[in-house]
Amino acid sequence: MASDIKLIGMRPSPYVNRVQYALNMKSIDYEFLEEKFGSKSELLIQSNPIHKKVPVLIHAHKPICESLIIVQYIDELWTSGPSILPFDPYDRAIAWFWAAYIDNKWYPSLKQIRMSKGEEKKLAAVEAVKEGLALLEDAFVKCSKGKELLWWG
């Protein structure tokens, strides 16, 4: 029997992994539809005609695109299990800020390591990633308010 919940994605994508973590935290069964690198399936193009990229969650034949939007959808729809996003509006805003930082600043820095030509540029990219990790570690300590994180605790 086909699952009512499908995730279109690629395994090495951190954006797809983000959605997989959310689904797993909520103990939601889903069918993973793997895209092949360098090609886009007809289902992907139909499900995300604007950006034509993964991840796409298909729930009850309706597509939801963009990992952060999908995580919010999962957290709001499936209320059983642990909450993914903070309930407090300020704490939620801080969580969104750091998620945007990861997407817009840190992941591109990480990608720059692979793309850099020459040892000096590669070392500068590694340094940027390290600085980002230090910022994130500090932010996670402050955001956790002394609580253990769900996936580690």
Residue 29 lies in a domain: yes
Structural domains of the chain, count: 2
d(CA 54, CA 83): 24
Residue from 101, 102, 106 nearest 127 by CA:
106
Residue 149 lies in a domain: no
Claim to verify: residue 34 and residue 60 sit in the same structural domain: yes
- The pTM assigned to this predicted structure is 0.83
**What percent of the chain stands above pLDDT 70?**
94
Residue 1 pLDDT: 39
| Cα–Cα distances in angstroms (integers) from residue 138 to residues 23, 28, 131, 142, in the given order | 26, 31, 11, 6
Rounded to an integer, the average pLDDT of 130-145 is 87
Domain boundary among 24, 55, 77: 77
Rounded to an integer, the average pLDDT of 23-30 is 94
What's the whole-number average pLDDT of the chain? 90
Instruction: Give yes or no for residue 153 having a pLDDT over 80.
Output: no
Domain that holds residue 123: 89-144
Rounded to an integer, the average pLDDT of 112-130 is 91
Query: Domain holding 140: CATH number?
Result: 1.20.1050.10
